[in-house]
Amino acid sequence: MYERYAKLLEEKNLTSYQVSKNTGVSPQILSYWKNKRSKPSYRNLKKIADYLAVDVDYLMGESDNKLIKPEKKEHQIQMPLFTRLSCGTGSFVDDDVIEYISLPDTILKPNKEYFANYAKGDSMIGAGINDGDLLVFEKTNVLDNGSIGAFCVDNEEAVCKRIRKSEQGLIMLLPANEKYDPIIVDVENTCFRIVGKLALVISKR
């Protein structure tokens, strides 16, 4: 944990003396931390994290995301906005979070978990999705036939398409633009994951 603190000081061209002076955390506490005699209390870690403009979970080594999560507001649903969706593990990479956004719980379900991503290209224009639109997905690994969702195919970046399942078990990811061919998924030889169901499209126009 101290190693992250030291790296942040180097990145920001700061010293522990400056941190102590501006946060009120005593030099002795920082010295004990450095020498692994003890670690600062959560309260002091929060002061240090706020001063260094990082999330306290990052400083504590519990997250790889430096961004500070905003305080949750009443009747608002908070979610990460990703630059891209990682398909290497089928999970989400904290380093790819642009920011955290909030939307009213009147347009989303409060008991669900969501993430957001910007639409890329024109393959889904027939479904009202244009390049640059903000797409909000409900996290799920199950989709009804014909639903639009986010999908990971092998190790490529996740795609937004409409899923179509045949009676024979064939899975196709369909674009909403006849210029593009569907993606045929061979489930026996392809790493395929459903990562989200499209919940909301917010046009950039």
Catalytic annotation, residues: 123, 161
d(CA 84, CA 81): 9
User: Contact, 59 vs 4, CB < 8 A?
Assistant: yes
User: Contact, 94 vs 167, CB < 8 A?
Assistant: no
d(CA 32, CA 37): 5
CB-based contacts of 142: which residues, under 8 Å, 6+ apart?
194
Which 8-state DSSP code applies to residue 175? Answer: -
